Amino acid sequence: MASSRSLKVTLTYDGTDFCGWQLQPNGRSVQEVLENAWQSITSESIRITASGRTDAGVHALSQVVSLRTESRLDNPTLIKAWNANLPADVRILDAIDVSNDFHAIRDARRKHYRYLLQDSPLTNVFQRRYVWHLPKRLDCSAMCSAAAALVGEHDFAAFQSSGSPRKTTKRHVFWLKVKRTESTSLTGPLLSIDVEANGFLYNMVRNIVGTLVEVGRGRQSIDWPKSVLASRDRRQAGPTAPAIGLYLVNVAYDPK
């Protein structure tokens, strides 16, 4: 029997037509198509672990997964064969050998998410699957100022949706930026909200976005997100932004 080895794999996917990362009995998941394609090329039935379970409709520019395999195929060959057996909305970017104790979830140190909004009267047809469209222009400067209160180590219970309880609701947000990109012929005007933290609670990014949008709309003051954070009460925060505009940009690990 061949000895097993561990791989750290980086991939990208368009989440539009997936029910999310995790295997579901009645839906098409990223995990399912990856594991099925792997079995087609290696005849192995394995379980693949992702750094985080993205929800239905959420995209990934750079998701990281870990797996154990007995395949002796070299990594460039595996990548090429895997991609040839995957649907067009998933692609393997990289695969490297790692120590057998590497774990995509446990060893992740930082995650970077980006949320994209389009605040203009007309929906851009080329962006309709990838941004949250709002018909009126948001106050980007106010959103920027409001976001500052959420940077640092805090209890983010007010920004956690029910359904995935954690041992602690404390997280460290390293940075949170709101930036406007003016209109181009392909995208129209875009607002990006980027956040990096040592971890995220369930729907935390989407709830932060929904809260900042209320400030951008002028419905709440710049100081409101700070009071929401202090309340530790989800009912005090803004609505959950739709999944369509959320992207997992990067997952960072220790250099070793």
Residue 165 has pLDDT above 90, yes or no: no
- pLDDT 10s digits, 27-81: 999 999 999 999 999 999 999 999 999 999 999 999 999 999 999 999 999 999 9
The answer to whether residues 228 and 169 belong to one domain is: yes
pTM: 0.94
The answer to whether residues 47 and 90 belong to one domain is: yes
Sequence-ordered list of residues with C-beta below 8 angstroms from that of 96, at least 6 positions apart, any chain? 7, 8, 75
The answer to whether residues 115 and 30 belong to one domain is: no
Residue 123 has pLDDT above 70, yes or no: yes
Mean per-residue pLDDT of the chain: 94
- pLDDT 10s digits, 138-163: 999 999 999 999 999 999 999 999 77
Distance CA 29, CA 244 (A): 16
Closest CA to 76 of 6, 9, 5: 9
The answer to whether residues 89 and 114 belong to one domain is: no
Active site residues: 55
Sequence-ordered list of residues with C-beta below 8 angstroms from that of 201, at least 6 positions apart, any chain? 156, 157, 159, 160, 161, 164, 166, 169, 171
Residue 104 lies in a domain: no
The answer to whether residues 121 and 77 belong to one domain is: no
Which domain range does residue 35 map to? 5-98
Which of 46, 69, 98 terminates a domain? The answer is 98
| CA pseudo-torsion sign 171, 144, 159, 110 | negative
